[in-house]
């Protein structure tokens, strides 16, 4: 029986390896989609709803009003139901111009939010998968990385703030586009193509409705790009390449990021210009005090509760002094943490050092 089982496993593995690469990638995407559906199944396929906090008091009304306007073929510039009327399009959190919301506008407002969450969980997982493949990780490892990110406490905990979830989902794709492939030669054409694609990603981050998430994403990508530049320059120097080639290899990702960010901001002008005008008229036009600017920040002493399990020793709502403690969650599960530890121990190259 054992011999028969081993033979079957060997044949199955050989059959999978015989699949073309694109078909194996497609299978990985389908598995990630099933995983995302499994996470949100109770919201997607039953009559249960989330009915507390910002998702109830803020995002359901905004998504409902925006969807009604889009279904009637108009852009909602003004919200007559808030106070004595208030700008609507100019508020970036309304995410009126975010294209991935448009196909969902014909669903009930709760299903709009839940399907958006499942879709963006899949987008984040798929981005992690292809980023790992770009870093020469095998398909099984890449799929594991996608699943870990898709189901992480950080990502799932953002469901109550759907705009943060939507913006965060594009981070792996931005990292992918600034990371040069290892197996192919560098070219100006490839850099221009990646720059244009990255501009679209930056635009999607901004249109998703949480500018702080875009800022955090781009800072993270910038740090990664600087690490890449230092690594590439040192590697090219060890190979005794010409100075011009060394500088091109080192700073190409930085040029791609800078150009794409500028182009992405320009693409979002229909959203950003009204937002800038509104920001000059709001209560925060004069800036924030230090205490206001740092409110809801993660305190360093709370990092263990953010990154590690509580083992039932502490109530997170009490530890973070807020019922919205999921905003501080970055727990990726026991299996993810163990795999990260193995990667730190046995991994190699820049991803290990950066991680």
Each as own residue / partner, the long-range contacts of residues 315-324 (CB below 8 Å, 24 or more positions apart, any chain) are 322/296, 323/53, 324/53, 324/54, 324/160
The pLDDT of residue 232 is 73
CA distance 177 to 253: 8
The pLDDT of residue 348 is 79
107 neighbors 100 (Cβ within 8 angstroms): no
* All residues at 6 or more sequence positions from 185 whose CB lies less than 8 Å from its CB, including other chains: none
116 burial class (0-12, 13-18, 19+ CB within 10 angstroms)?
A: buried
Could you tell me the sign of the dihedral formed by the alpha carbons of 224, 227, 233, 234, in that order? negative
Average pLDDT on 240-254 reads 69
Structure tokens at 75: 């852009």
pLDDT at 4 exceeding the cut of 70: no
In tens, the pLDDT along 132-160 reads 999 888 899 999 999 999 999 888 888 88
Question: Is 0.85 topped by the overall pTM?
Answer: yes
pLDDT at 9 exceeding the cut of 80: no
Ranges of each domain in the chain: 24-281+302-354
The pLDDT of residue 15 is 56
In tens, the pLDDT along 49-69 reads 998 889 999 999 999 999 999
């Amino acid at each position: 029986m054992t011999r028969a089982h081993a033979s079957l496993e060997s044949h199955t593995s050989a059959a999978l390896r015989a699949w073309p690469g694109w078909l194996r990638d497609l299978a990985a995407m389908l598995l990630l989609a099933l995983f995302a559906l499994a996470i949100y199944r109770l919201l997607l396929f039953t009559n249960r709803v989330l009915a507390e906090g910002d998702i109830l008091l803020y995002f359901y009304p905004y998504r409902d009003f925006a969807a009604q306007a889009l279904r009637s073929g108009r852009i909602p510039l003004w919200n007559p139901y808030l106070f004595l009327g208030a700008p609507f399009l100019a508020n970036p959190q309304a995410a009126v111009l975010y294209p991935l919301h448009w196909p969902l506008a014909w669903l009930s407002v709760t299903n709009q939010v839940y399907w958006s969450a499942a879709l963006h969980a899949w987008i984040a997982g798929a981005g992690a998968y292809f980023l790992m493949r770009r870093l020469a990780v095998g398909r099984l490892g890449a799929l594991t990385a996608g699943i870990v990110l898709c189901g992480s406490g950080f990502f799932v905990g953002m469901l109550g703030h759907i705009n943060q979830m939507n913006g965060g989902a594009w981070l792996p794709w931005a990292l992918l586009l600034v990371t040069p492939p290892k197996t192919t030669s560098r070219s100006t054409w490839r850099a221009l193509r990646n720059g244009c694609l990255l501009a679209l990603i930056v635009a999607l981050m901004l249109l998703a409705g949480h500018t702080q998430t875009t800022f955090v994403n781009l800072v993270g990508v910038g740090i990664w790009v600087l690490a890449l530049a230092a690594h590439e320059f040192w590697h090219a120097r060890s190979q005794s390449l010409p100075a011009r080639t060394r500088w091109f290899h080192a700073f190409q990702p930085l040029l791609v990021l800078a150009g794409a960010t500028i182009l992405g901001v320009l693409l979002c002008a229909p959203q950003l210009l009204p937002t800038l005008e509104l920001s000059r008229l709001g209560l925060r036009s004069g800036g924030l005090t230090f205490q206001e600017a740092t409110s809801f920040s993660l305190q360093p002493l709370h990092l263990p509760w953010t990154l590690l399990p509580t083992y039932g020793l502490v109530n997170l709502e009490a530890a973070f002094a807020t019922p919205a403690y999921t905003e501080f969650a970055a727990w990726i599960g026991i299996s993810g943490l163990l795999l990260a530890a193995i990667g730190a121990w046995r991994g190699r190259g820049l991803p290990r050092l950066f991680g």
